Amino acid sequence: MTKVKELNIALLGLGTVGKGLVNLLNENKDEILNKHNAKINIVKVYERNADKLEKFGMDRALFTDDMQTIYDDPSVDIVVELLGRIHPSKEFIEGALKAKKNVVTANKDLICMHGGELLKVAKQNGVTMLYEASCLGAVPAINTLKNNFLGDEIKSIKGIFNGTTNYMLTKMTQEGLSYEDCLKQAQELGYAESDPTNDVEGIDAAYKLCILSRFAFGLDAQFDDISKKGITKITSQDIEIAGRLGYTIKLLAIAKCNNQKLEMRVNPVLVSNEHQLSKINGAFNACTVEGNYSDEITLIGRGAGSYPTASAVANDIMNFAHKMGDVGQRTLKKAKIEKDGQMKFYIRLSILDKAGVLAVIAKTFGDNKISIESAIQDKNDNPEVKSLIIVTHSTSSLNMNKALDKISKADVVQSVDSVLEVLG
């Protein structure tokens, strides 16, 4: 009989995901043994307060508030970091790697900003750092990009990378709730923090896009190279108009690569109701990968929360049980950043209700090489003003900015109310 493989873990943090991992390892221990011939032992838990271990039914003797005891313990095979935030997690992981401990982390902020330097430390010390759980929870996006497109060139990745904003936009679309009411619900359900900035401003999704772009394209994508626009300015009027036009508004993370030139953004998008991403609702995440031969493949699943993220952490741990290849290390080429994206636009303007207005706007678009696909007028709160909704053909984003700058200054235009990308 093959000897059972034992892996000893030092767990950093007993928060939402830490608790989920403890429960998963307890409930699935027989399945892990039968399927993988492995036994996972938690031998140390780093926390500030030992009472937390007893609260979760764990042996108080596992407690430590001194990371050095973990570094010095020869029985520890893997350090699992679930503390979140960049500091002190960065220092803890670096210390573990230098102590020749393998590391598993779910820390997207840290991996996005400092993953490269930590991977170098891991390589220098002959150990591995895995971080599947840093992107999209239980959705195996990193492993898919690394292992399932070996014979294909990835042209783009796009998707719903933040469950909180997807939940909010779903509620706004299906129930007509205001942004403020949806945010309050999301906070009450634990989807959104008391300070929701990272979610609603697209920062969380941008961290994940940065990490996944490195795997998709082999280019050294950086967080600051991603343009970010959140959902705080999305109105019920835009959602209603989008529905009439056959679209659903989603916050999408989008990365495209053309001739080693990388285009990356996070912004609200009118997604055609014919597209798979328009149908992803609630707190679910999705990632659509487009290859030059495989076309589009979409991964869907819960992207946040205790158990989905704990599942991804457990999968990384089992990689060590099988001594599988290192998903974390890859030589990256320097990325050239494309500042002028090509896309379709939805524009909503408030215009004076008088003759000749459409001609002025059409001429400005034409002068900037922008072709209009459709235009409709809609009601406005002001009886002397109409809302003009325009959808363009695919065009240069720089040309669009120039056109809108001129249009916003025209006497016949009261305001530029909304500018959104259109997909499909």
Q: Are 155 and 291 in contact (CB under 8 A)?
A: yes
The separation between CA 28 and the C-alpha centre of its own chain, rounded to angstroms, equals: 28
Output the pLDDT for position 324: 52
User: Which of the four pLDDT bands, split at 50, 70 and 90, describes residue 177?
Assistant: very high
- Read off the DSSP letter of residue 333: B
Check residue 332 and give its pLDDT.
Answer: 84
Q: Exposed/middle/buried for 273, CB within 10 Å: 0-12, 13-18, 19+?
A: middle
In this prediction, residue 200 carries a pLDDT of 98
Q: Is the pLDDT of residue 153 over 70?
A: yes
Q: How far apart are CA 193 and CA 216, in angstroms?
A: 30
Q: Report the alpha-carbon distance of residue 340 to residue 196 in Å, rounded.
A: 30
Q: Can you tell me whether residue 33 is helix, strand or coil?
A: helix
Question: CB count, 10 Å around CB of 60?
Answer: 11
Question: What's the rounded Cα separation, in Å, for the pair 137 and 176?
Answer: 28
pLDDT of residue 413: 96
Domains of the chain from N-terminus onward = 5-134 (3.40.50.720), 141-303 (3.30.360.10), 342-423 (3.30.70.260)
User: What pLDDT shows up at residue 330?
Assistant: 58
Q: Average the pLDDT over 134-162 and give the result.
A: 92
> Percent of the chain beyond pLDDT 70?
98
Beta bridge mates, 257: 262
Tokens of 311: 């599942």
Residue 253 has pLDDT above 60, yes or no: yes
Mean predicted confidence (pLDDT) in 306-330:
79
Q: Which tens digits make up the pLDDT trace of 42-87?
A: 999 999 999 999 888 899 999 999 999 999 999 999 999 999 999 9
CA distance 272 to 295: 18
- What value does the mean pLDDT of the chain take? 94
CA distances from 259 to 44, 222, 256 (A): 48, 18, 10
Cβ 335 vs Cβ 409: under 8 Å: no
Q: Is the preceding omega at residue 88 within 30 degrees of 0, hence cis?
A: yes
Q: Summarize the confidence of residues 151-157 as an average pLDDT.
A: 94
Say yes or no to pLDDT of 328 above 60.
Answer: no
Residue 1, pLDDT score:
53
Joined tokens for residue 390: 């325009």
The residue to which tokens 């406005």 are assigned: 380
Asked if pLDDT for residue 248 goes beyond 70, the answer is yes
Q: What is the pLDDT of residues 25-36, one digit of tens each?
A: 999 999 999 998
Q: Does residue 307 have a pLDDT over 70?
A: yes
Question: Who contacts 149 (Cβ-Cβ below 8 Å, separation ≥6)?
Answer: 289, 291, 294
The 10s digit of each residue's pLDDT in 259-279 is 889 999 999 999 999 999 999
pLDDT score, position 56: 85
Residue 417 has pLDDT above 90, yes or no: yes
User: Where is 342: in which H helix or E strand?
Assistant: strand 342-352
User: Which pLDDT belongs to residue 380?
Assistant: 85
Q: Taken in order 282, 419, 195, 160, is the CA torsion positive or negative?
A: positive
CA dist., res. 265 & res. 330, Å (int)? 23
% of the chain exceeding 90 in pLDDT = 84
Worst-scoring range by mean pLDDT, 63-67, 135-139, 158-162? 135-139
DSSP per position, 111-143: HHHHHHHHHHHHHHTT--EE-GGGSSTTS-HHH
- Distance from C-alpha of 134 to C-alpha of 385, rounded to nearest angstrom: 48
According to DSSP, the β-strands at 342-352 and 395-396 are antiparallel
Determine the pLDDT at residue 383: 86
Distance CA 372, CA 358 (A): 12
DSSP state, residue 230: -
Q: What is the pLDDT of residues 76-125, one digit of tens each?
A: 999 999 999 999 999 999 999 999 999 999 999 999 999 999 999 999 99
Q: Which of 138, 107, 251 is nearest to 186 (CA)?
A: 251
d(CA 279, CA 272): 10
- Which residues are catalytically annotated? 208
